[in-house]
């Protein structure tokens, strides 16, 4: 029995936003490569960079005493102006 070989290329339809399509067209003109090559390159770059992201360290805010003077109230700030 012979093994079944599948074609590795996949055809699909993408709906691109106008700004993305313009950037891809500009890259095609700049590099002289085909639309397929440019799209595949940038999809690979995006997917690889997404995988390499590390979670950010948790941001913690530590409260500190303001050192208000005894008898001073922050409820009425008009006397300060």
Give every CB contact of residue 16 below 8 A, 6+ residues apart in sequence: 24
Higher pLDDT among residues 73 and 6, named by residue: 73
Both tokens assigned to 74 = 């922050």
13-58 residue pLDDT tens: 989 999 999 999 999 999 999 999 999 999 999 888 766 667 888 9
- Cα distance between residue 47 and residue 72, in whole Å: 57
pTM for this entry? 0.52
The answer to whether the beta carbons of residues 38 and 27 sit under 8 Å apart is yes
Using an 8 Å Cβ cutoff, are 62 and 48 in contact?
A: no
Give the pLDDT score at 79. 66
Q: What are 75's two structure tokens?
A: 């409820």
């Amino acid at each position: 029995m012979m093994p079944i070989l599948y074609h590795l290329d996949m055809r699909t339809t993408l709906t691109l936003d106008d700004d993305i399509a313009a950037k891809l067209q500009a890259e095609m003109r700049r590099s002289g490569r085909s639309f397929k090559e440019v799209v595949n390159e940038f999809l690979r770059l995006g997917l690889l960079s997404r995988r390499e992201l590390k979670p950010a360290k948790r941001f913690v805010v530590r409260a500190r005493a303001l050192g208000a003077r005894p008898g001073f109230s922050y409820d009425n700030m008009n006397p300060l102006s």
